[in-house]
Amino acid sequence: DGEVYKYYSDGEWKKSSSNKSVAIINPTTRKTQYKVQACSQEEVNKVMEIAKVAQKSWAKTPLWKRAELLHKAAAILKEHKAPIAECLVKEIAKPAKDAVTEVVRSGDLVSYCAEEGVRILGEGKFLVSDSFPGNERTKYCLTSKIPLGVVLAIPPFNYPVNLAVSKIAPALIAGNSLVLKPPTQGAVSCLHMVHCFHLAGFPKGLISCVTGKGSEIGDFLTMHPGVNCISFTGGDTGISISKKAGMIPLQMELGGKDACIVLEDADLDLVAANIIKGGFSYSGQRCTAVKVVLVIESVADALVEKVKARVAKLSVGPPEDDSDITPVVSESSANFIEGLVLDAKEKGATFCQPYKREGNLIWPLLLDNVRPDMRIAWEEPFGPVLPVIRISSVEEGIHHCNASNFGLQGCVFTRDINKAILIGDAMETGTVQINSAPARGPDHFPFQGIKDSGIGSQGITNSINMMTKVKSTVINLP
């Protein structure tokens, strides 16, 4: 009906003076579902200016009051779970139940963050000088954690609400102000979530949300001199942001190719269940999805049979019906996935199901006998297509895992805990899960990737610490 969602600046909902909008295409209908403002660079400048001013007084607001407001926002967010989840269904085709879970998880994250912030920011250190050679006990050093300033948060389409609040809440509890640039798909869900923070009564200008085209405001935001920290989750864009950003702390999470190594003694039913959950939930559009199965040849036939039987039970259809497999986020994403599938076909992979696609909806597909010369052995489909590589030794599996340019998570299945620990240690990833599929949560666990998977560590505690710096005051005694 031509209505364009407003952006949020200075505690108000505003129309962009650009008079331009960005369309959000519903992945299921492939028609325009919503429109958001295409903010201009001048509007970004204004938001940055306001954020800088608002941060100064926010940093002086008592910690317990900051926590109180966050608890309030968390409660409002949970109260509004239904309309926000509905947007997630329409914008990113997340299955209805998972969409509700995302919002509830987000509320819990905000509350936990408020509590954790009160604890860890409520204490500092006291050091004395005479522990270092040559010093008398004449200096007392007091340290505390102070905010960085303005934090820029850029979440991805797959968790627009949850991966926004996982940046917003730590930034705010630590005394920073926050500028949010939502992904295009998921922008309206983000605006609704921001409205919950608005209703909670945060000071004007402390939180802003600018929507628009990456080509117009993307680099402008990330290279803006007013930004003191960037927390980004997404794809390759993160690599270019890290090259262009100034001398500021960066928190980046850029995807993965999480390997699932299966030993001959593994409980194959448990493995199959985890491959389904890990590889196909939200149609494989999770950075922590299982993206390659590396199974010892002697149990490969049995495992593939078990996974095949479970794939056959997955429901395929629209997110409104709470289908297991829903349309992938965009046509270009579906085309990319198809490219990987066709390459695997040409090079002789075994198709456990026929390849089927309608619009952006791709039926779940298990590809057996994948070899290292196939693109799918290395690239991240971000879709419901999972390659199986048969290996003759554990070393071969570890080697494949470590040869990847990614290093987010990985998992190993075996009943032998000693082997599991040794394999886990040998896998060059930020996290290794023993006998379960990779996952970020629970959200207070550290979450990090190495190599092209990211910079820094997330999780509630680490994010709070990352969004602060240490300030020392030294008392010099006569």
Where along the sequence are the contacts to ligand G3H (CB under 6 A)? 158-159, 286-288, 439-441
Task: Give min distance, CB of 281 to ligand G3H, in A.
Answer: 8
Smaller CB distance to ligand G3H: residue 5 or 280? 280
Asked about 401 being catalytic, the answer comes back as no
Asked about 39 being catalytic, the answer comes back as no
Task: Give min distance, CB of 219 to ligand G3H, in A.
Answer: 23
Residue 85 tokens read as 């989840």
Smaller CB distance to ligand G3H: residue 355 or 445? 445
Smaller CB distance to ligand G3H: residue 34 or 159? 159
CA angle 104, 105, 111 (to 5 degrees): 95
**55 CB neighbour count, 10 Å cutoff:** 25
- Across-strand partners of 22? 36
Residues contacting 221, CB < 8 A, separation 6+: 44, 152, 154, 179, 181, 210, 227
Residue among 102, 253, 379, 380 flagged as catalytic: 253
Residue 162's closest CA among 141, 189, 181? 189
Residue type, 219: D
Smaller CB distance to ligand G3H: residue 163 or 311? 163
Smaller CB distance to ligand G3H: residue 70 or 252? 252
250-253/454-455 β-pairing: antiparallel
Task: Give min distance, CB of 253 to ligand G3H, in A.
Answer: 6
Task: State how far the Cα of 394 lies from the Cα of 259, in Å rounded to an integer.
Answer: 12
Smaller CB distance to ligand G3H: residue 205 or 279? 279
Task: Give min distance, CB of 397 to ligand G3H, in A.
Answer: 22
Task: State how far the Cα of 355 lies from the Cα of 342, in Å rounded to an integer.
Answer: 9
Task: Give min distance, CB of 434 to ligand G3H, in A.
Answer: 16
Q: Which residue is closest to ligand G3H by CB? A: 287
Task: Give min distance, CB of 288 to ligand G3H, in A.
Answer: 4
Burial class for 86, CB neighbours closer than 10 Å (0-12, 13-18, 19+): middle
Task: Give min distance, CB of 64 to ligand G3H, in A.
Answer: 30
One-character DSSP codes across 354-397 = ---EETTEE--EEEES--TTSGGGTS---SSEEEEEEESSHHHH
User: Which residue's structure tokens are 């494989």?
Assistant: 284
Residue among 39, 113, 196, 287 flagged as catalytic: 287
Cβ–Cβ under 8 Å, residues 7 and 16:
yes
**218 CB neighbour count, 10 Å cutoff:** 17
Cβ–Cβ under 8 Å, residues 221 and 181:
yes
Smaller CB distance to ligand G3H: residue 282 or 413? 282
Active-site residue list? 253, 287
